[in-house]
Amino acid sequence: MDKTLRALLAPARASRPAPGQPSTVADPVQRRQTASLMRINHAGEIAAQGLYHGQALVARNPVTRALLDQAAREETDHLAWCEQRLRELDDRPSLLDPLWYAGSFVIGAVAGVAGDRHSLGFVAETERQVERHLDHHLEQIPAADQRSRAILEQMRADEQAHGQAAVDSGGALLPRPVRKLMQTTARIMTGTARWI
């Protein structure tokens, strides 16, 4: 419960400073576009907290649990950076953050109940999909918005490291239908979080 309340109600606190220098986006259309992308990323980081917390709760191996807890702590940096950038852009997080967290917590717990190898495989696949998603967002960020770009680039590097750590720890390749279902679920979340 403590982790849930902290993820949803307390301002996220980063252990690392936000990448890049604070900057403004003068054009109101570009600012709204960037803010909607950062809102999606913030919602994704709320979901990541739920996934990792759910998986860690049911992890059988203490080493797996420690890996999941460490990844969740690093994801907290991403959450804090996205919150900060949304404030800098005079915007807000998704109003559906509690739903993203709760749904992801359940999904994470189900993945964890399937066993540590499948749970770690779920982490690896999630991070692969997030990496592609961040690449797509980097293409959409205005060239002049170096702050948002630096945040997303650091997030991408961290996600790659989390995915590789999961593979190195024995994560199993998930079946294709599961990977497709994960993509569909992510599309629903990102499409909704852009606006709500």
| Mean pLDDT across 130-140 | 91
Which residues have CB under 8 Å from 49's CB, separation 6+?
3, 7, 72, 75, 76, 79, 101, 104
183 vs 8, higher pLDDT:
183
Strand, helix or coil for residue 11: coil
DSSP code, position 24: -
Residue in the structure block whose two tokens are 């191996």: 61
pLDDT tens digits, 142-195: 888 889 999 999 999 999 998 898 889 888 888 788 888 877 887 777 777 777
Among the ranges given (6-15, 55-64, 132-141), the one the predictor scored with the smallest mean pLDDT: 6-15
35 vs 4, higher pLDDT:
35
pTM given for the model: 0.87
Q: What is the pLDDT of residue 179?
A: 82
Residue 5 scores a pLDDT above 70: no
pLDDT tens digits, 21-40: 877 777 888 889 899 999 99
| Mean pLDDT across 138-143 | 90
Q: What is the pLDDT of residue 139?
A: 92
What residue type is assigned to position 174 of the chain?
A: L
Report d(CA 57, CA 60) in Å as an integer. Answer: 9
pLDDT tens digits, 82-118: 999 999 999 999 888 888 889 889 988 988 888 888 8
3-state secondary structure 168-184: HCCCCCCCHHHHHHHHH
- Residue 6: which pLDDT band, with cuts at 50, 70 and 90? low
Neighbours of 10 (CB within 10 A): 9
Which burial class, exposed, middle or buried, applies to 11 when counting CB atoms under 10 A from its CB (0-12, 13-18, 19+)? exposed
Report d(CA 48, CA 189) in Å as an integer. Answer: 12
Residue 9 scores a pLDDT above 90: no
Domains plus CATH for the chain?
26-193 (1.20.1260.10)
Q: What is the pLDDT of residue 151?
A: 94
| Mean pLDDT across 69-83 | 87
Strand, helix or coil for residue 59: coil
